[in-house]
Chain A
């Protein structure tokens, strides 16, 4: 998917050939008709997964109440699952990651998807994206909010057999503080004595000013913990495969570039005692191995899922939704929250610096129609004004009246009041990701109805990324943003990010959002922030988009939401 949070690398690999898709759809229909004509209505026979029993079953079972929130086949009930050990789960991943698991080096999703299996942080997100202790046993925050004391769990081992100590945490966080945007925010607020290892299992963080958002940041995959020696040796370089050593439930065993990333169960893993909740709580690994296979073509991934060559497809072609829904061996998953898309404006120079012109765009087009144009399948989209999506604790409806105010006549009247004199507005877009181009094409048509000229500047995604950094080259573009990120961490907060939203009121609200420790007070800053967005319209939210994924039915205990993971799941035997 060509969204910003997933990263450019991923984007450039998901080149879908629309002509091929059309032909594919035709062929699929014709083939199904032909096969049915030849062989009647017989369903495709269940295929034994290639992995079942491939590796020695180590015995042992476990029972986990698993909430299967899959959308396909109508499954939504909570079921009691008896897990058995053994087997290999094969995942079709959209492409080779720029780093296997170094989420500090790159923000691409293909990397963070693997990071969460190998590494852990002090905290992890629960199903509502709240921070919950992971490597931390207990923690205290001083009354003035300036001192955080974390006591680590004892007996935690890294994959190389060494024990987790506070030195590892300090070295890892120091690297995080240098390499990532959120780490830099935290480290800029630290006092001189900053992050300290006060004893082998205790870490303190001392701040100059309250930093209430710290735990939310520490729960992100990028704030992972590695052995101190590796963190110091690697520094800001990309973590090489042989040094990809964490405390997580899986270990990296083998990496064949563009062919296979092989993770195996870490038998010395110490699960937490709490019930599983999102990425937090107890993690039990029942499968022997997790094979992540780069499959750049979503059609190949879908076909492999149908035949049982893959057990899980990270990205599925929405055009094949119905095909998968009709297969009893496959369960479709609408992965929420996914992302939200918006029309971003160049606020540094040119006509879109005029707020009235941004309001004209906002009133000119129907959000629902734009989402249909973008994603085709309405089941994968949602109308919602929130900059944090409904699944998170940070969601708010503030600004809904602006979001839903579509009034082309009023837009036309307002346009007449502006200095706009018919010059074409340049819209950077790409056909590599159909939603970029399709959204632009639909809104262009609506804008032209009210007298705004739009010129679509179409290029490949890498070129869009380069050009959007140059304010003299564009006025509008579509952006995909993560729905699961805390509003304080969104990339458009950075006034240097393309779009250049520079507003002291925003900075003031964000400062409070980072500072306040009380969750209620902090939530109010999010409300204020969203209000400001709908007042200023630095961008126009179009709507939410969910990711279509699919898995084989023999995977037991799979839980949807907040990205995929394969602990607490097993393969149905036999």
Chain B
């Protein structure tokens, strides 16, 4: 198991470097000038040139690439051009909102998704199944920004139970932080739960048709035991992979949800960095996001091996 994990981590290094290098090239070959964005249009050519020189943007692209890579290999992601702070600091500051939102929306997705999927599979063809899967279909088709805005209008503007937008860190108090995240977490988690619900139902039905389930029932096991111990556990392997990918997506920042709810997270930061042509920040953020994906995939693979030892073998 350990050797497997080490091999996967080592394999991840070139993957991350390729991703980051591709982003570096794409950003630098794309038109757009970060200096113009920083100084404003009234700046003189002299000022622009001076700032370009100071930031090293006038060097040949190969020089810039080698410089950036050598810094990255030493663990230095550089300095954000626009925010005037180290990229690692900028990313660290945005990590808390994104991680909190990711965890909460994942809880929403898993609780609603797994429960509805199991219930629908157990009552296949019933009104409950049709209702749950109809709801899931709505959840998948309604864009998150529409759901988000509807939630804002009802719970924040009309009822005034929750804030319209914004973020409070955990240091402001658990409830103070949570109340800002409830609506975004529902917005983000609803679509994922709908997808997960449909997948769970499908996997469960697949397993429920297996001989060993029939055998378990023939042995007189309670239905709850059949579902939880025999069916769900076997259906869980593909679901784990889906939840893993979902986790990686949620932890890398949800651009639209962060924008609608004005959450200063990774997604919003990345979009702003692209628009501002903040090269080091975009490169650093993509590198971190790639690392998150690689890490979570690794964890999922290890978990899958744990849940189903046949895969490890």
A31 touching B154 in the complex, CB below 8 Å, given contacts A296-B259, A460-B275, A466-B36: yes
Q: Are A303 and B259 in contact (CB under 8 A)?
A: no
Pairwise interchain contact A13-B272, C-beta atoms closer than 8 A: yes
| Chain B residues, Cβ within 8 Å of A8 | 36-37, 40-41
Are B83 and A257 in contact (CB-based, < 8 A)? Answer: yes
A462 engages B36 (CB within 8 Å): yes
Number of interface residues of A (CB under 8 A): 58
Q: Is the CB of A106 within 8 A of B33?
A: no
Q: Indicate if the CB atoms of B40 and A107 lie closer than 8 Å.
A: yes
* Docked pose: A256 CA to B96 CA in angstroms: 14
Cβ distance A420 to chain B, nearest Cβ, rounded Å: 28
Q: Which residue of B lies closest to A111 (CB)?
A: B40
**Which residues of B in the span 184-213 have a Cβ within 8 Å of any Cβ on A?**
none
**Residues in B neighbouring A12, C-beta threshold 8 A:** 37, 272, 275-276
A297 to B37, CA, bound (A): 19
Q: For window 226-281 of chain B, which residues contact chain A by CB distance below 8 Å? A: 259-262, 264, 268-269, 272, 275-277
Bound complex: CA of A44 vs CA of B94, how far in Å? Answer: 34
Cβ A35 vs Cβ B158 within 8 A: yes
- Decide: A23 near B149, CB < 8 A? Known: A13-B275, A307-B157, A463-B32: yes
Distance between A56 CB and nearest chain B CB, rounded to angstroms: 20
Residue A132 lies at the interface, judged by CB distance under 8 Å to chain B: no
The segment from B57-65, B104-112, B162-170, B286-294 found at the interface with A is: B162-170
Interface: B31 (CB within 8 A): yes
Q: Which residue of B lies closest to A180 (CB)?
A: B42
Contact of A31 among B33, B45, B158 (CB under 8 A): B158
A465 at the interface (CB under 8 A from B): yes
B152 CB contacts on chain A under 8 angstroms:
303
User: Could you say which residues of chain A place their CB within 8 Å of the CB of B45?
Assistant: 496
Residues of A contacting B166 with CB < 8 Å? 293, 304, 309
Q: Report whether B36 and A303 are in contact in the complex, using a CB–CB cutoff of 8 Å.
A: no
In the assembled complex, the Cα of A207 lies from the Cα of B307 at a distance in Å of 84
Please report which residues of chain A, range 71-124, place their CB below 8 angstroms from some CB of chain B when the two chains form the complex.
95-96, 98, 105-108
For the complex, is B11 an interface residue (Cβ under 8 Å from A)? no
Would you call B153 and A31 a contact (CB within 8 A)?
yes
**Residues of chain A with a CB closer than 8 A to B260's CB:** 297, 299-300
Q: Mark B1-45, 1 if CB is under 8 A from A, else 0.
A: 000000000000000000000000000001111101111111111
The answer on a CB contact under 8 Å between B150 and A31 is yes
* B93 proximal to A (CB < 8 A): yes
Name the residue of chain A whose CB is nearest to the CB of B93.
Answer: A257
* A240 to B146 CA separation, bound complex (whole angstroms): 40
Chain B interface size, as a band, is 35 or more
Let me know if B47 is at the binding interface, CB within 8 A: yes
| Residues on the B chain within 8 Å of A461, using CB | 275
The answer to whether A465 touches B157 (Cβ under 8 A) is no
Chain A residues near B85: list those with CB within 8 A: 257
Residue of B nearest to A305 (CB): B164
A184's contact among B30, B44, B83, B275, by CB below 8 Å, is which? Answer: B44
Q: How far in angstroms is the closest Cβ of chain B from A41?
A: 14
Task: Convert A444-472 into 0s and 1s, putting 1 for each residue whose CB lies closer than 8 angstroms to a CB of B.
Answer: 00000000000000011111011100000
Q: Please report the C-alpha to C-alpha distance between residue A47 and residue B156 in the assembled complex, in whole angstroms.
A: 12
Bound complex: CA A9 to CA B82 (Å): 9
The count of A-to-B residue pairs whose CB atoms sit within 8 angstroms is 155
Q: A466 to B29, alpha carbons, bound, how many Å? A: 13
Report the minimal beta-carbon distance from B52 to chain A, rounded to whole angstroms. Answer: 12
Closest approach, in angstroms, between the C-beta of A288 and any C-beta of chain B? 19
Contact A236/B50 with A107-B40, A258-B269 known, Cβ cut-off 8 Å? yes
- Rounded to whole angstroms, the CA-CA distance of A333 and B118 in the bound complex is 54
CB–CB B157/A105 < 8 A: no
Given A13-B275, A300-B262: A7 in contact with B157 (beta carbons within 8 A): no
User: Nearest chain B CB to A482's CB is how many angstroms away?
Assistant: 10
Smallest CB separation, B168 vs chain A (Å)? 10
**Is B67 interfacial (CB-CB < 8 Å)?**
no
| Contact between chains at B40 and A462 (CB < 8 Å) | no
Chain A positions within 8 Å of B217 at CB level: none
Roughly how many angstroms separate A47 CA and B157 CA in the complex, as a whole number? 11
Question: Which of chain A's residues have a CB closer than 8 A to the CB of B277?
Answer: 462
Residues of A within 8 A of B124 (CB): none
A 153-189 to B, binary, CB cutoff 8 A, 1 in contact else 0:
0000000000000000000000000011100100000
Q: How far is the CA of A13 from the CA of B156 in the complex (A)?
A: 25
Closest to B80 in A: A257
Considering only residues 135-150 of chain B, those with a C-beta below 8 Å from chain A are: 145-146, 149-150
Which residues in A have their C-beta under 8 angstroms from that of B146?
A: 23, 27
The answer to the question of A231 belonging to the interface, with a C-beta cut-off of 8 Å to chain B, is no
The verdict on A372 contacting chain B, using a C-beta distance below 8 Å, is no
Q: Which residue of chain A lies nearest to B146 when distances are taken between CB atoms in the complex?
A: A23
Top 9 nearest A-B pairs (CB, nearest first) are A107-B40, A462-B32, A7-B40, A107-B42, A12-B275, A463-B31, A8-B37, A303-B164, A31-B153
Chain A contacts to B: CB under 8 angstroms: 4-9, 12-13, 15, 20, 23-24, 27-28, 31, 35, 44, 47, 95-96, 98, 105-108, 179-181, 184, 236, 238, 240, 256-259, 293-297, 299-300, 303-304, 306-307, 309, 459-463, 465-467, 491, 496
Residues of B within 8 A of A (CB): 30-34, 36-45, 47, 50, 82-85, 90, 93-94, 145-146, 149-150, 152-154, 156-158, 160, 163-167, 259-262, 264, 268-269, 272, 275-277
Beyond A23-B145, A257-B90, 8 extra complex contacts between A and B, CB < 8 Å: A258-B94, A306-B164, A307-B164, A309-B164, A459-B31, A462-B31, A462-B34, A463-B30
Residue contacts A-B, CB under 8 angstroms, 30 given: A4-B42, A5-B42, A8-B41, A9-B40, A12-B37, A13-B275, A20-B149, A27-B146, A96-B82, A98-B39, A106-B38, A107-B41, A107-B43, A179-B47, A184-B44, A257-B93, A258-B272, A296-B262, A297-B260, A300-B260, A300-B262, A304-B165, A459-B31, A461-B275, A462-B32, A462-B33, A463-B30, A465-B37, A465-B41, A496-B45
